[in-house]
Each structure stands twice: as C-alpha cells, then as structure tokens.
Amino acid sequence: MMLRKLLTQSSSRRLLSSGTPFFSKTSLSPFSSLSSSPEPPSSENSTVEHVEHPGTTISVDRSALYNPPDHSHESKPDSELVKHLKSIIKFRGGPISVAEYMEEVLTNPKAGFYMNRDVFGAQGDFITSPEVSQMFGEMIGVWTVCVWEQMGRPERVNLVELGPGRGTLMADLLRGTSKFKNFTESLHLHLVECSPALQKLQYQNLKCTDESDSEKKAISSLAGTPVHWHATLEEVPSGVPTLIIAHEFYDALPVHQFQKSSRGWCEKMVDVGEDSQFRFVLSPQPTPAALYLMKRCTWATPEEREKLEHVEISPKSMDLTKEIAKRIGSDGGGALIIDYGMDGIISDSLQAIRKHKFVNILDDPGSADLSAYVDFPSIKHTSEEASENVSVHGPMTQSQFLGSLGINFRVDALLQNCDDDQAESLRAGYWQLVGDGEAPFWEGPDEQTPIGMGTRYLAMAIVNKNQGVPAPFQ
C-alpha cells in the first residue's frame, strides 16, 4: 500500500527538468587507448606520438582527441592551478600519480573543477539522472522507505548523500516521501560536500532556513528535516541507523593507472615535458600504489589477468567502502551506489568532459570534469572484507533497478496530469533514465533520442545482514 501511494501520488511541481538532448558521462565507447578522449577521429589530428622511456615505449594515440572550435595552440599564461601542479612536480623532482593529478584538478580548494561553480545541467558540463527527471529522485525515495521499513521503522535515521550536486535528488526524494510523516520525521539529513558553491545551491534547492539554536542547523521546509553539511563521511555522527546514497560519487574518486611494459607493471604518471606542457610517462620502477594492483588482480580470474594491458585502481574508493560497510554493519541501515561502471576489472576509462564534449585529460586542468568507470566487484569484495555484518547485492542495471521499483507506474500516473508538451518531455526523460535497458514499455520518442542510461549505469546495495535482502534485489 505504501509503495502504491508513493508511485501514484501526483505532484504539482516540475515534471521534468530537461526535455532537450543531453550529455551524460557514459555516452562513449568503454575505453580509449590512453584515456585521451573517445570522440570519433578526424583527419586533422590523427597522429600518433611515441614517448620513449627506459625499457618501454608508450604509444599515445592522439587521433581521438576532440579539439573544440575555439581551441588554440598558441601559448597562454598558466592558470593558478597549472602553476600549482607544476610546482608540485618540480618540488618532488619527478612526476605525480594520475590519482594526485585528478584530486587536485577536481577538488583543489582554490581552483578545483567542483569548488567554485555550478557544473551541472545544460549550461554546465554534463547532466546527471536527477536533472533529467523528478522520477529518479522519487524512485530513490521509494528505496529508502523500503529499507526503513525493513529496519523496523526506527524513530531516528541519518540519511546521508555523498556528493549531492545541486541537491536535486534529495529535494525530489523529500517531496516524494513527504506524505509519510513517520518516515520524514525520523530523518536527519547529512550532505557530504566539499564545494562551498554547491553547498549554497543545495541550501537553496532544499529550501532551507536557519534554525536559531545552539546547533546552528538548517531545516528543509520540504519535509521539516534537519540538514547538516560535512566535508567527509567520517564527520557524520554514528550510532544510529544510516541510509547512504552515493549517486555518481565513486566515479569522481581518484584512480591510479597502471600499464604493462617490458619491465612489468608500471604506474602511469603526469609529468611536465620540455615544452612546459603536461604529458603522461611511466614510472621507472614499482610504486607504493602497485600494492593495490596486486590485491585487485587477485579478484580477477587468471584469464582476465593474462589479457590485461592496463588497470585502474582507486584506493580512495576502497577506503570509502570500508567506512560505509563498517558503519552499516554496526549501526544498521543500507547504502545505495548508482554509477556508471562495470561488473568486472577496469582497464583504462579515465575521461575528461567540458561543456558536454570530450577533451584531452591534460588540457587546461580545472576546466573539465574528470571521471572514471566504477569497479563494482572491488566495492563488493572490500565491503565483505570490512564487515561480516553486511551483505552486498547487485550490481543490476539502472533500468532493472528503476523498473523493479515501479517507475513505469509512476510515469503513467504523472501522464494523467500533464499537457501535451509536458507529456512529451516526461516520456523523453523516462527514456533517458531507463532506455537501452529492460524497463521501457514503449520505444524511444524518435531516432534523435540520446542513448539511454538504462544499462550504462549500475546499482548496488550494501545492507546490514539482519535486515534481509533490500528491494528490488530480491
């Protein structure tokens, strides 16, 4: 009965935040040769550069690099972030890891990509599922209510979102569940966000007001829910059941890249060439991060290991997963991870996106998003190693996940209360969320419809064993 109410209740708020073609992080061929860019090659830049190193050769295929129309090869003054990166390399006396480069580019306090502006939506650099349609956040709300029921309806729950973006997902979740007072009154919302600019957007979109008490907490008027902000998950109070949402969060965590060479596995690094431009090089000897490589490869089959030429590993993803598993194992609750990735070992997926187009990873750092495919088997194994009190379910495709939770019933209910233009936008948004997967009950609106996220995004749940199997993984 509760699920039926969640899925069929109409809403007077927006039906869809976009009805126009969009760019998602997954509209690409899985992997490129050296993570440059998977855009179709053009005859103007189809050159291959061979970078020599002791004992090996890196072949950098530049034929797939996308050069924006306003791109210029003329020298220009270095940005503050470029100067900072070059100073790190100079101080070290050698190159830095791809992971360190990625972390600086995305979250440098002064000039990181996420730190000082809104990067989402048609006017930003890419569009995520919550910005496509309100139904995505509503379905996540259905999932949280189901897990809350399985926990025995606790009177207090920490609802945590990692990397909330604009706060769109959480706003839709709170609106969608607002009629279930026992649930919303139990919630204490904790947003893990390091960007001051995005914190302000989240405050606005959750319609927060400051509460003048000693805690100096905010209250979201969408459901009367207390809201707190934190820089890391470790800062979120423990000791009560916790629901954690990680949507497109893992893909932004730094990755180390390794490449097989004549002297074994070497780490790919970022250095400054004689022309003062950033370039990729290989480490001359094993690095400390190689320990993670050996551990990760034990989870792959011998056949997989034999075929590998490149490997990506994210130690920070492992550390985050350990924290999540230990918290859920001790406090109860569950975590939902939705991201684009693979149910297998990741080879070479790092990509850069600027203004909805792929660009060179090393071009103008700080102006483009960097992300990598999520290694779901790594999340599963790390969770099970971290706590014997959790069970891991999935991954399943986003289309399966949303379809099993009832998005088809929800879109049908919304279509009963909208005009023709809204209905067209609603269908387009629905297709973008579940298209190219198992859930759709009609074909895409037309041939120009972007490839859907249905199979490119995967969903995985980590829950306390005492709660049974979470919906919709039964």
Answer yes or no: is 359 within a domain. Answer: no
User: Are both 99 and 194 inside the same structural domain?
Assistant: no
Average pLDDT over residues 342-364: 88
- Residue 40 is predicted with a pLDDT of 34
Answer yes or no: is 463 within a domain. Answer: yes
User: Are both 300 and 201 inside the same structural domain?
Assistant: no
User: Are both 217 and 325 inside the same structural domain?
Assistant: yes
pTM > 0.85: no
User: Are both 105 and 177 inside the same structural domain?
Assistant: no
Query: What's the token pair of residue 370?
Result: 């960097």
- Please state the domain count of the chain: 2
User: Are both 444 and 339 inside the same structural domain?
Assistant: yes
User: Are both 272 and 151 inside the same structural domain?
Assistant: no
User: Are both 180 and 287 inside the same structural domain?
Assistant: no
Of 27-41, 246-260, 300-314, 416-430, the one with minimum mean pLDDT is 27-41
User: Are both 14 and 129 inside the same structural domain?
Assistant: yes
User: Are both 322 and 209 inside the same structural domain?
Assistant: yes
Q: Which residue has the tokens 């009154």?
A: 185
How far are the Cα atoms of 16, 17, 222, 358 from residue 13, in angstroms, in the given order? Answer: 9, 10, 12, 33
Identity of the highest mean pLDDT range in 18-22, 294-298, 456-460: 456-460
Of 228-232, 259-263, 341-345, 451-455, the one with minimum mean pLDDT is 451-455
CA neighbor of 461 nearest in space, from 409, 400, 373: 400
User: Are both 138 and 281 inside the same structural domain?
Assistant: no
Residue 89 belongs to what domain range? 48-64+79-118+255-312
How far does the chain reach from its first CA to its final CA, in angstroms?
Answer: 19
Q: Which residue has the higher pLDDT, 426 or 102?
A: 102
- When the pLDDT of each residue in the chain is averaged and rounded to a whole number, the result is 81
User: Are both 133 and 192 inside the same structural domain?
Assistant: yes
- Residue 397 is predicted with a pLDDT of 94
Average pLDDT over residues 197-225: 84
- Residue 305 is predicted with a pLDDT of 77
Q: Which residue has the tokens 């492992």?
A: 318
